[in-house]
Structure 1
Amino acid sequence: MEASSKGIFWLFLSKFFPPIINFTVFAYTARILAPEDFGLVALALAIIFLISSFMPSGWRDAIIKYQISDKLTISSIFWFNLAVSLFLSVIVIVFSLFSLFEFQTHAFNLAITIFCLKLIFDGLFYTLNTVLLKQEQYFLIALRTIISAVISAIIIIALLLLDFGVWALIWAQSILSITNFFAVYWPTKKFIGIQFSMASITRLNSFAMYSTLTNGVTSILDHYESVIIGSVLGKRELGFYNIAKRLSAIISDIFIATVNEVSFPLLAKKQEKITELRKAFIDCVYFSVLCLFPLFTFCFINSKQIFLLLFTEKWLSAAVIFQAFCIIFTFIILGIPQKNIIILRNHAKWWFQLQVKISLVIVPLTTLSAFWGLNTLLLSLIFGKCLYCSFSMWKSCQLLSLSIKRYLVSFIVPIICCATSAVVVISITQFIPNSQFILLDILASAAIFFITYLIQLFLFERKKLVIIGLTLLPNNHYLTKLAKKINNQDP
């Protein structure tokens, strides 16, 4: 039990400490560099990520799936990943030698060539990191994550202070990947030998090919829009888009990922009994909306002040893009429990097919919309997330024999409370002059918004909140007493 507690502690430390470091460096870098610099790096990285979608990631997943421990198989997977990454790097270098597109400036071609180091070492790192995950070496994983974040921060700041400019970001990305590899190589080197067996690779094909394809499609859908924006609208527009996306990703990694980690085990425990699973699903969706919708609603209405505080006035054009991500995240919040239900009910293949079918619509639509400007492209991205959410909602409700009306009604009250709180904040702040300190304005807006939100919840959803609280904390004496008090007050 003690070892398990320590493992959980290190997992949480590795999850929250690096984002704080990355966010601090990210905000500092944005104040120094221009949008065009961020756009150049974002476009080069997006192409590298698209190329890396063809990496044989499924064979890495097979190490955990089949609990592989023998040195020959792990060595074969390691060298297989290295061979593929070298082959893909040659393609990237050839691409950089022939400037076929307008965005391929000398700086861009040099940047994408340097990022080949990232492509190679990331492939090796993920293979060895999977071995650590299989062995549940959480301390080593956490230590590697924290050390890498600190090293990356030091490198970026040092290179910026030495006036390397955009090259500080470029070299820091590659050096970070190299550092990550050596950090995991030392504790796993006993599993790697100079040996290779094609038979070990081919016997994993049935699982690994499907997993590689699924991971590849997901990776492409995560990065394709950056390539479209950079090539069609230019590096400056991509710089604004990238800064908004990175800020959104930091918030998402901390909050949405945390809720997902809470909801998935809860649903998994109830998967054998459809009635209990249905109730757990409704509770998970309600809890997600209750906690995260007010956060993104607040960020939406205060996006300009947030960007002024963090990144200065030169990044204000990214505030509208950030608002679009806030809308997108509302669909993601609903989609996570829905996806979990689909997977738990053994319909992962249906989910993959849905991704492919919708991408065949959304990717061309996004490409065409880019020619009408960034705002039109953002609308197409929102539409795409809405489609995913709608189809997964229909499927999850069907699998649980749950009516869509009952599903929507289950979380309507927190949404109304969010909308009401937003209207109250906007109405009040119109009559209050802005102070000289942006942080004070944001804090005042936050106090009005969240106090209004909590008062409404207390008035209309007190009983439901106590029930969910007892589900998560069944031995809490305060919640037990409050539940008895509420039940005695009921007619």
Structure 2
Amino acid sequence: MCKDKISTEESSLKEKAINGVKWTFVDQVGSLGISFIVGIVLARLLEPSEYGLIGMVTIFTAIATVFTDSGFGQAMVRKSDLTEEDKLTAFWFSSSMGLFIYILLFFSAPYVAIFYKESQLTSILRVTSIPILFSGLLTIPNIIFTREINFKVITKISISRAIISGCVGIYMAIMGYGVWALIVQNLISYLIAIILFNYFCRWKIKIIFSKTSFHYLWGFGSKMLISSLLNTIYNNLYQIVIGKFYSAADLGQYQRGQSYSGLFSNTLTQVVQRVSFPTLSKIQNDAERLKYGYQKIIKMSMLVSCLGSMALAAMAKPLIVVLIGEKWMQAADYLQIISLGALLYPAHAINLNVLTVMGRSDLFLKIEIIKKIIGIFPIVIGIFFGIKVMLWGGVISSFLCFAVNAHESKKLINYSFEEQFRDIIPFIVISLFIAAFVYCISLLSISLGLVIILQSVLFFSLSYCYFQLTKNVEFLELKKIIINSLRK
């Protein structure tokens, strides 16, 4: 009887997870696809230096977001008996923190402009920071839907905001507003998200702040806050260094390359992370099932990530020139390098998810500190030896940090670095060989459009044939999930 119950629960959980993956994938592909098209149009209308100006203030808005969340979001998703008091306590904390941070940024903006020697940054930072004031209205409804593994609503909202804000951004760029087209596009996106999330969620805001709820949320979230802060600062250090020691145009080129590199790895990471955390949190007390679940997720996600990232690296130059023009050729060089390190992003995220699911925010913080110490060296080197050297150092540090992440997973679910490496190395090797072969097509004296078509067809065909002929378990299961989803 007990086994039947577990089997039924596991089947229900798997169904929810697959449904969640389906809708999250639609979300990512839909909203990112729209953003990708909008980005192509905007990149042709705007200059690299205008993207660079946005990149210079990104770290400040990113850090502000970390503080307004303070790890409460993950604590709420993980808590099995979330109450109304928990939600309202998190809302009022996030709103109060948002007001405080915005005031701080408003008065600090002139000093940011002085640091980068760009006078426009004063008004840019003050305007781009406005959404921070309304952070609670966006994050809490989002968490509620995430807890319920209800990504259908989130998908509708994401696609809606991408379409409307994209149209506004393109219109303003055509009218000659320059960098402000990007700023207003972002503001419109936040406004639509806030309106739609609260419309569909229909939760009631009350003046309730529970000390008991706060102690629980802060107890778990405070360590996540420090970890997220370290991670956010580190992820934006490249932009700070390039913006400070190079030019706004150089930063714009880096940002374009970095954004395209995440088309596969970041999309996949968000899909896996968003679905796996609430799903596997429900079996956090069953170590055997937890290890099996994580092993399957890592192998399936790394199969897709390796192929996607390597394909992007092989096709980078003709893709960039055809899509956004020769003025972005420098971004293509950066894209090739960044893609090699980006293929491990899903593995990083999944290993960190293990710690979060098991409630080990202390280990999460420890790992983040170690990883940032490793990752700081390429950035320092880049100041003296150039942006490309810095990016190659980032690829090496990505692999080293994967080892650090996986080391802690062994302690919690007995899934060691050696096991993980054996699981994913075949995907890395075969995708590298296919990418190297496909890259050779770009050396032919034919039109770039034809190069892209031939590279795409060949990469897909070789990958499909290899995994189909070798009867790779992960490939066959992914294929089955996709076919079943399409039929439904």
| Contact 1:271 1:344 survives alignment (8 Å) | no
Q: 1:127 and 1:267 mapped to 2: Cα distance?
A: 19
Q: 2:233 and 2:155 mapped to 1: Cα distance?
A: 28
Q: Report how far residue 442 of structure 1 moved.
A: 1.1
Partner of residue 445, structure 2: 433
Q: Report how far residue 192 of structure 1 moved.
A: 0.7
Q: Report how far residue 377 of structure 1 moved.
A: 2.0
2:342 is aligned, of 318, 326, 329, to: 329
TM-align CA RMSD? 3.7
Q: Report how far residue 285 of structure 1 moved.
A: 4.3
The structure with the larger Rg is: 1
1:451 paired to 2:461 = yes
Instruction: Say if 1:34 and 1:456 are closer, same or farther in 2 by CA, change over 3 A.
Output: same
Partner of residue 222, structure 1: 235
User: What secondary structure does 1:244 align onto?
Assistant: helix
Partner of residue 238, structure 1: 251
2:176 is aligned, of 146, 155, 163, to: 163
Q: Report how far residue 106 of structure 1 moved.
A: 2.6
Q: 1:170 and 1:326 mapped to 2: Cα distance?
A: 27
Q: 1:283 and 1:468 mapped to 2: Cα distance?
A: 11
Q: How many residues align?
A: 467
Partner of residue 320, structure 2: 307
Instruction: Say if 1:262 and 1:293 are closer, same or farther in 2 by CA, change over 3 A.
Output: farther
Partner of residue 144, structure 1: 157
Point out where structure 2 has 5 or more consecutive residues left out of the alignment.
1-11, 484-488
Partner of residue 452, structure 2: 442
Q: How does 1:17-56 map to 2 (within 5 A)?
A: 17-56=30-69
| Contact 2:40 2:324 survives alignment (8 Å) | yes
| Contact 2:300 2:474 survives alignment (8 Å) | no
Q: Report how far residue 280 of structure 1 moved.
A: 6.2
Amino acid at match of 1:146: I
Partner of residue 390, structure 1: 403
Instruction: Say if 1:225 and 1:146 are closer, same or farther in 2 by CA, change over 3 A.
Output: same
Task: Deviation per CA, 1:8-31: give whole Å up to 9, x if none.
Answer: 765554333211111111111011
Partner of residue 489, structure 1: none
Q: Report how far residue 53 of structure 1 moved.
A: 2.6
Greater alpha carbon shift after TM alignment, 49-58 vs 301-310: 49-58
Partner of residue 81, structure 1: 94
Instruction: Say if 1:291 and 1:154 are closer, same or farther in 2 by CA, change over 3 A.
Output: closer
Q: Report how far residue 90 of structure 1 moved.
A: 1.6
Partner of residue 183, structure 1: 196
1:418 paired to 2:418 = no
Q: 1:329 and 1:248 mapped to 2: Cα distance?
A: 7
Q: 2:147 and 2:297 mapped to 1: Cα distance?
A: 28
Instruction: Say if 1:232 and 1:118 are closer, same or farther in 2 by CA, change over 3 A.
Output: farther
| Contact 1:121 1:177 survives alignment (8 Å) | no
Q: How does 1:63-78 map to 2 (within 5 A)?
A: 63-64=76-77, 65=79, 67-70=81-84, 74-78=87-91
Q: How does 1:112-151 map to 2 (within 5 A)?
A: 112-134=125-147, 138-151=151-164
Greater alpha carbon shift after TM alignment, 307-316 vs 90-99: 90-99
Q: Report how far residue 333 of structure 1 moved.
A: 4.2
Task: Deviation per CA, 1:41-77: give whole Å up to 9, x if none.
Answer: 121222221233322433344444264443x554443
Q: Report how far residue 164 of structure 1 moved.
A: 1.3
Q: 2:19 and 2:303 mapped to 1: Cα distance?
A: 30
Q: Report how far residue 305 of structure 1 moved.
A: 0.6
User: What secondary structure does 1:250 align onto?
Assistant: coil
Q: 1:225 and 1:40 mapped to 2: Cα distance?
A: 14
| Contact 1:75 1:191 survives alignment (8 Å) | no
Amino acid at match of 1:93: F
Q: 1:227 and 1:426 mapped to 2: Cα distance?
A: 32
Task: Deviation per CA, 1:129-160: give whole Å up to 9, x if none.
Answer: 32444466645433322222222112112212
Q: Report how far residue 334 of structure 1 moved.
A: 3.9
Identity of aligned residues (%): 19
Partner of residue 248, structure 1: 261
Q: Report how far residue 441 of structure 1 moved.
A: 1.0
Partner of residue 390, structure 2: 377
User: What secondary structure does 2:396 align onto?
Assistant: helix
Q: 2:178 and 2:172 mapped to 1: Cα distance?
A: 7
| Contact 2:165 2:189 survives alignment (8 Å) | yes
TM-score (norm 2): 0.81
User: What secondary structure does 1:303 align onto?
Assistant: helix
Greater alpha carbon shift after TM alignment, 361-370 vs 29-38: 361-370
Point out where structure 1 has 5 or more consecutive residues left out of the alignment.
477-491
1:14 paired to 2:22 = no
Task: Deviation per CA, 1:278-332: give whole Å up to 9, x if none.
Answer: 6666555444443332322222122101101211100010112111221112332
Amino acid at match of 1:16: V
1:206 is aligned, of 203, 206, 219, to: 219
| Contact 2:303 2:427 survives alignment (8 Å) | yes
Instruction: Say if 1:12 and 1:450 are closer, same or farther in 2 by CA, change over 3 A.
Output: closer
